[in-house]
Amino acid sequence: MIRITFLPDEKNIEVNKGTSILEALEKAGISIDTPCGGKGICGKCKILVTKGINPITPIEKKFLSEEEIRKGFRLACQTKVFEDSIIKVPLKIRLDFNKLFTSKSKGDIHHIKKSFSLKSNLRKVFLDLEKPSLDDQSSDWQRIKDKLSLMKIENISNLKVAVEILKKIPDVIRRADFRVTVTLQNNEIIDVECGNTTESSYGIAFDIGTTTVVGYLVDLRTGEELSTVAKANPQVIHGDDIISRIEFVQKQKDGLEKLQREIVNTLNEIIRETTQKAGIDKNNIYETVIVGNTCMHHLFLGLDPSTIAPSPYIPVIEESLNLKAKDIPEFVLNPTANIYILPNISAFIGADIVAGVLSTSMWRGEKIVLFVDLGTNGEVVLVSKKKLWACSTAAGPAFEGARISSGMRAAEGAIDKVKMDNKSFAYRVIKDGKVRGICGSGLIDLIAELLKLGLINKSGKLIDREECKSELSEEIRKRIIRDKEGNKFLLVKEKETENGKPIYLTQRDIRELQLAKAAIFAGIKILLKEVGISPEDIQEILLAGAFGNFINKESARRIELIPHLPLGRIKFVGNAAGTGAEIALFSIKMREVSQEISKKVKYIELSSRPDFQEEFIKAMSF
């Protein structure tokens, strides 16, 4: 074993000789941005290391400047450690998800919560038990039951209890001198504690995304959100998208168990951090709600997702599930804590979308509403006359910065907004400083502005410098540069970039964006056709997803990611999945609604629609 120290965290871990730095980072619980999943394709995982590693590889030479190499930069995915090392992990490449994903509009959630009855299925009851004697030889369990009935607690006939709780009872009640608090869930006693703990009743909702996992800790008595933590899904090390996770399950021995363990460990970390922040005991968490896409849902449960990916795309189960924490190996919650898992709709419309729809009022069906979740898969839900339709489009990861030459996530150093006119070009950089790349919202802005100025034509071609309209300034014209792969547009000069290389938008980048937006737009068109309405009939477009919150509506409309509707009809709903999960946490009624939603949705399989290809090709142009 050798020892690695990660800076600036000063985190020490021990690993076997020859472990890759990427694996070591995972083991140390440090999440970094690895869009290619550690395959040496993206060159984003630059870390600083001085000794004890393999010589630099050709792949690294491709991605590192000479100065970087001189300074000791390496790619975490390409380096293996052979002796004790000190490794510096630049903060810039870290995934600081908390900033991005925990920013829900509190007002909104409280508003939503208020409109639903706050009622969980939990009750805590303090019992001052009679002590046993030769005249009163009831068992400990009977003593608790008798007291509950004496107190006229409702709905406790046929009271159940798990062996784990029975095991605790004799010790707890004697330590507490027969003054204990029992936690009832429906007609089951799921916990017994010393003394009066009736004030401590918490729940946690999780949104398990392919990239990010967020946990929301809630006080079940008040509905108040106590703390929120977001973390990278550690499975990203095996690849960015669900297909790579499924491949991992199929190819690796115990791959399924490994992926389940990774996700459960992350939930455990989130439980630790949220409870610490809120200053509560994790054993007082009695309810958990889980949402996620169908693949994440399956991986959390340890269900093989292999049949999700190939046609005809079959999940193991869609319907909602109630489990106990003990059903999930290594889960740190109280073994008898309940886990409610929202229903899926199909292989590619998961419980996260159900939760998203639940968090809005669209399921009431009073308006014609289009719900679009922007991510690697663009999920689209349409409601009209109380009926629901949904489809999933393979938008690809372009919006998340992958497959774009200078693409990156919305993190420090990313261009997230672009503004152009005939004379000037301006951009905003997250946290200012040197530019590292462009994120999804910046890319949408950029393409929209280039379209507006006629620099990109309807077919998506970046025109030649000579074809530019006369009103365009030289400053703008000069940014169009021709090289052997076609035209490219200069975004940032080398002086202003972090790695000292200029940043361009290439013709290929535009094509990637076209593929992504065409997929979503074609999906929307198919749903409209299925329902028999036209885009103008849509009264509201709801844009969901962490990324959705940050894009410019006008730009999104210009590039035809969404139909051309008055901007007033377009709304952001943020992390709708997380909000929906939280709502389900404290409202049993809303769990029922989520089940109704999942049953009412008509899922449209785009791959079996002969008209999809046609719509897709149409939607490619601007």
Interface residue list for a second copy (CB under 8 A): 132-142, 161-163, 166-167, 169-171, 174, 301-304, 306-307, 311-319, 321, 323, 327-328, 344, 346-347, 603, 605, 607-608
433 in Cβ contact with 413 (< 8 Å): yes
Which residues, listed in sequence order, are joined to residue 205 by a DSSP beta bridge?
A: 216, 289
Q: Which is nearer to a second copy, 47 or 159 (CB)?
A: 159
Find the shortest distance in angstroms from Cβ 158 to a second copy: 10
Closest CA to 278 of 327, 215, 320, 324: 215
CB 295 within 8 A of CB 242: yes
In the complex, the smallest distance separating the C-beta of residue 308 from a second copy, rounded to whole angstroms, is 10
Length, in residues, of the chain = 622
The whole-angstrom separation of Cα 276 and Cα 274 is: 5
The minimum distance between CB 429 and a second copy, in angstroms, equals 44
Min dist CB 328 to a second copy, Å, is 8
Structure tokens at 257: 């168990």
| Closer CB to a second copy, 29 or 302, in the complex | 302
313: left (phi over 0), alpha (psi -120 to 50) or beta: left
Q: Please name the residues in contact with 69: beta carbons below 8 A apart, sequence gap of 6 or more.
A: 56, 60, 61
Nearer to a second copy, 118 or 317 (CB): 317
- Given the complex with a second copy, which of 126 and 178 has the nearer CB atom? 178
Tokens of 513: 């964006």
Closest distance to a second copy from the beta carbon of 593 (Å): 17
CA torsion angle 144 150 156 160 (round to 10): 20
To a second copy, the closest distance from the beta carbon of 169 in angstroms equals: 6
328: CB partners within 8 A, 6+ apart: 260, 264, 300, 301, 302, 339
What is the closest distance, in whole angstroms, from the C-beta atom of residue 110 to a second copy in the complex? Answer: 34
Q: Look at residue 573 and give its three-state secondary structure.
A: strand
- Name the residue nearer to a second copy (CB basis): 269 or 304: 304
Q: Give the Å distances, CA to CA, from 74 to 4, 55, 59, 141, 442.
A: 15, 10, 10, 62, 28
User: In the complex with a second copy, which residue's Cβ is closer, 72 or 302?
Assistant: 302
Residue 602 burial (10 A CB sphere; 0-12, 13-18, 19+) = middle
In this complex, which beta carbon is closest to a second copy, that of residue 278 or of residue 317?
A: 317
Q: How far is the CB of 545 from a second copy (least distance, A)?
A: 24
Alpha-carbon distance of 609 to 614, in angstroms, equals 10
Nearer Cβ to a second copy (321/368):
321
How near is the Cβ of 606 to a second copy at its closest, in Å? 10
Rounded Cα distance between 622 and 620, Å, is: 7
Q: Where are the beta strands (DSSP E) in 283-385?
A: 285-292, 321-324, 338-341, 369-373, 378-384
- Cα(401)–Cα(180) distance, rounded to whole angstroms? 54
Q: Give the nearer residue to a second copy in terms of CB position, either 209 or 343.
A: 343
Q: Least separation, in Å, of the C-beta of 232 and a second copy?
A: 26
Give the integer Cα–Cα distance in Å for 241 and 553: 26
Nearer to a second copy, 299 or 513 (CB): 299
- Taking the least distance from each CB to a second copy, the nearer of 199 and 327 is 327
Helix ranges, 176-237 (H):
none
Residue closer to a second copy, measured from CB, 315 or 545: 315
Ramachandran region, residue 207 (left: φ > 0; alpha: ψ -120 to 50; beta: rest): beta
Q: What whole-number distance in Å separates Cα of residue 508 and Cα of residue 483?
A: 12
Amino acid letter, 53: I
Determine what percent of the chain falls in helix, strand and coil, rounding each to the nearest 5. Answer: 40, 25, 35
Select 198 or 307, whichever has its Cβ closest to a second copy.
Answer: 307
Taking the complex as a whole, how short is the minimal distance between the CB of residue 167 and a second copy, in angstroms? 6
Nearer to a second copy, 317 or 463 (CB): 317
Closest CA to 309 of 351, 232, 250: 250
Amino acid making up residue 244? S
Please state whether 158 falls in left (phi above 0), alpha (psi between -120 and 50) or beta: left
Minimum CB–partner distance for residue 197 and a second copy (Å): 21
DSSP, collapsed to helix, strand or coil, labels residue 482 as strand
Determine the Cα–Cα distance for residues 213 and 394; give it in Å rounded to an integer.
21
